[in-house]
A and B are shown apart, each in its own frame.
Chain A
C-alpha cells in the first residue's frame, strides 16, 4: 500500500515533468530497428552505464521459466536472461535495482531476489519476441508457479513489463 501510494506520487510528478527520457525512448521506438536499437539501459554506482540491444541480450546465457501469470491465460514459456547473470556479467553490486518501464511504471527489486528466486529479464514469450502491445520488449518474470510465496502482489508488483532501464544502487 505504502509502496503504491508513493509510486502514484512519483507518477504524478513524472506526468507533470514529462521528462525528456520518454522522448528519447519514443525516438528509438520510431527508428523501428530492433536489431541495432538499444532496448535496455543498465546503470550502476559511480556513473556506470551500459546499453543493450536485443542481440546483445540474446548473447548472454539464456534462462527459461514456464509458469502461469496473472496477465496471461494459460501456461506461458518465457525465455530471457537471468537478472543474476546480467549482474554478474556487468560485475555489478548493489542492494536495490530501480526498474523503469516505458509506461513510466517504476518499481524497486531487492538485488537479493535475483539469487533467491532467479527472476529473468524475458525477451521471448512462447518462442516469439514481445511487442510493446504485448508488454514487450522486456518483461521481468518470476517463476510464480514454483512457490506459493511468489503468488502475491509483492512479486507481481516487481514484475515490470515494457522494461526500459535498470539502475542498481
Chain B
C-alpha cells in the first residue's frame, strides 16, 4: 500500500519532470540575468548623468573668442593692461587645453587618432600664440597674433563638434540601452511572475492528485485489511482476526474483568443447507452474522467471528459474575434461535453454545477457544440446543477419548468387539421374532464398554469401518447358531455406507456364515439418505436383490420426510422411542404412530416400535395395530449365551419355529 503511494508520487514526478526542469532553467537564467540587468541599468542611468564633454568643448570656443577679443582690443590701442588681459585669456585657454587632455575629455580624445591629431594641432598653435605673446615686439605682431588666434577656431570648433556628436550618440545609446534594459527587466519580472503562478498552480494540482492517490491507496489498504480480517458472508471477523483480538484481550485483561469465550454451532444448519441449497444456507449464515453483530453491539466489549462452516465464536469482556454471564448467554441464545424466513421458507433454527471463561492469568487464547469448543462438543453430545460451561472433566474426557483411540489402534478387534442382542418381539404373543445386534467392546482392563463410550473414538480414529465389518460377520455367524431361525438386525453406520464395497462385505459375511439373506436386516438412519440419495438407493436395491431386508431406523425424529418413504424401497420402519414414551399421555403421539402404521401398511412395510418399557405402552401399540416391538420390557441387550437360553426357553425345538 505504501508502494502504491510511492508509485503515484513517482508517476507524478515523471510527468512533471520536463516542466519542472524548464522552470528550473528559467529560474536559473532569471537569477543570473536579474543582477546583471540591474547593474547594466544602473550603468546606463549613470551614463545618462555623466559629465557633459560637449559642454566643455563648446566652452573652449567661447574662451577662444574672449582671447580673440582681447587681441582685437589691444590691436586697436596697445597697453600693458591689454597685454595682461591677453595673457589671462591665454592662460584660460591653456587651462581648457589642459582639461581636454585629462579626465573624461582626455579619454574621449584618446579614443580616436583624428581627435588626438586635432588636439596636438591645437596645442602646437597655442604654443605658437604664446611665443608671440611673450615676444618683446608683441605690439608690432598683434595682427599676426589675431590671425593665428582666429586660425584656432577651426580645430577647436571641430573638436567641440566631435565631442558634441559623441556625447549625443552616447546619450542616445544609453537611453536606447536603458529602454532595452527596461524591456528585459520587465520581461524577466513578468516571466518570474508567470513561473510563480505556474508553480503555485502546479503545486496545488499535484497536491490534489497526491491527495487523490493517497485516498485511493488508503481505501485499497482498508479494503485489503478488511478482506484479510473479515468473513465476507457474515461481515464478522474471521478466525485469524478473532484470535489476534483474543490474544490482545488476554494480555490486557484488567483485574476484575472476565473474558468469556463462547463457541456456537448451529443445530440443523446442515439439513437446511442440503435441502434448500447453499444459497439458502448462505442466507441463513448471513442472518446469524447479523444477529451476532446486533448482540455484539449491545455489549460493552464483545467481538464475534465466524470460524468456518456454521461455527461461530464470541468473545465477551465483562465484569459480571457467572449468573450475569449466563443471563447474557441466554439472551444471545434467544436471539440466535428466533425463527427466520429465507425466500419463502420459514425456518426454525437453534444453536448449541459452549463457553469457557478466565478471571485470572494463566490461560492463553488458544486454550480458551479449545475449552469453549470442548464444552460445545459436550453440549452437542448431550442433546444440542443448550448452553454448556466448560469443566475440567471435559478435558479428561477428551484425554480419555485420545487414549481410547490409541487403545483401539492397539486392540485385537476381532476378538474384543462383540455383539449383544436385544430382542424384537411379536406383540400379541411376546415371542422373540428377531434381535438387534448392538456393539460392545470387551476392553482388556475396563471390561465391557457400551457403544457411546468408544464409537466417537472409533469414528475419529477410522476404526469404525473395521468394527462395522466385524459386527456384520459376528452377527451372521451367531445367527447361524441361534436355537431358532430368528432374524438379526445390524446397524450400518454412515461411515460404512460411504464405502462402496459395503454390498460386497455383506455378501462375504453371508457366504462365510451360510446365513440365509432373508434373515439379515440392515438398519440405516435418515442422515445417510440426505447425504447421497442416489448412491444409497442403488445400494439398497443391490442389497434387496441379494434377499437382505433394509429398515429405516429412528423414524419420526429429524426430518422424516415422506419423500424418503416414496423414493427409497424400505422393507421396515422402526418408530423412534420418543413417540413410544409419550404414547400413553399424549394423544398426538398416538395419532402419529397410528398414521405411521397406516402408512407402512399401505406401502407394504413392516413396523417395529422401539423403546417399550411399560405394559400399557405395549397394550396401546397393540391396540393401534403394531405387530412388532423392542424395549426393556421385552429384554435388555444380552450376550449370545443368554439369548440362546431365552430362545430355548421360549420355544422348545420340538415345537418348531415362529416365523
Contact = CB atoms under 8 A, between A and B. Distances in A.
B102 A71 contact: yes
Nearest to B48: A152
A84 B88 CA distance: 29
Contact of B92 (A69, A72, A103): A103
A127 interface: no
B537 interface: no
Contact of B62 (A15, A27, A134, A152): A15
Interface residues of B, number: 33
B85 A134 contact: no
Most chain A CB within 10 A, of B52, B81, B88, B99, is at B88
Interface string A76-102: 000000000000000000000000001
Interface in A22-68: 22-23, 25-27, 29-30
B332 to A, nearest CB: 94
Interface string A123-156: 0000000011111000000000000100111001
Given A103-B63, A133-B98, A134-B98, A151 B92 contact: no
Contact of A15 (B65, B92, B99): B65
B103 A153 contact: no
Given A134-B95, A153-B51, A30 B80 contact: yes
A114 interface: no
Contacts of A72: 102-103
B92 A102 contact: yes
A27 B59 contact: no
Contact of A30 (B52, B81, B105): B81
Contacts of A11: 62
A135 B59 CA distance: 14
A4 B50 CA distance: 15
B205 interface: no
B43 to A, nearest CB: 12
A132 to B, nearest CB: 4
Given A30-B84, A70-B104, A104 B98 contact: no
Interface string B71-95: 0010000001101110110011011
B104 A71 contact: yes
A101 B344 CA distance: 127
B66 interface: yes
Most chain A CB within 10 A, of B55, B91, B94, B104, is at B91
Interface in B603-646: none
A26 B65 contact: no
Given A18-B69, A153-B49, A70 B84 contact: no
B46 interface: yes
A15 B98 CA distance: 23
B413 to A, nearest CB: 120
B103 A162 contact: no
Given A71-B102, A104-B66, A133-B94, A26 B51 contact: no
A29 B73 CA distance: 18
Contacts of A162: 92, 95
A116 interface: no
A152 B99 CA distance: 18
A104 B103 CA distance: 22
B85 A22 contact: yes
A38 to B, nearest CB: 15
Contacts of A151: 46, 49
A15 B91 contact: no
22 contacts: A8-B58, A15-B62, A15-B66, A22-B88, A25-B88, A26-B85, A27-B81, A29-B84, A29-B87, A29-B88, A30-B88, A71-B103, A71-B104, A73-B106, A102-B88, A102-B92, A103-B66, A132-B91, A133-B94, A135-B99, A152-B49, A162-B92
Interface of B: 46, 49-52, 55, 58-59, 62-63, 65-66, 69, 73, 80-81, 83-85, 87-88, 91-92, 94-96, 98-99, 102-106
Name the 6 nearest CB pairs between A and B, nearest first: A30-B84, A152-B49, A70-B51, A26-B85, A132-B91, A133-B94
Interface of A: 4, 8, 11, 15, 18, 22-23, 25-27, 29-30, 69-73, 102-105, 131-135, 148, 151-153, 156, 161-162
Given A72-B102, A104-B62, 6 more contacts: A29-B87, A30-B88, A71-B105, A133-B94, A133-B95, A153-B49
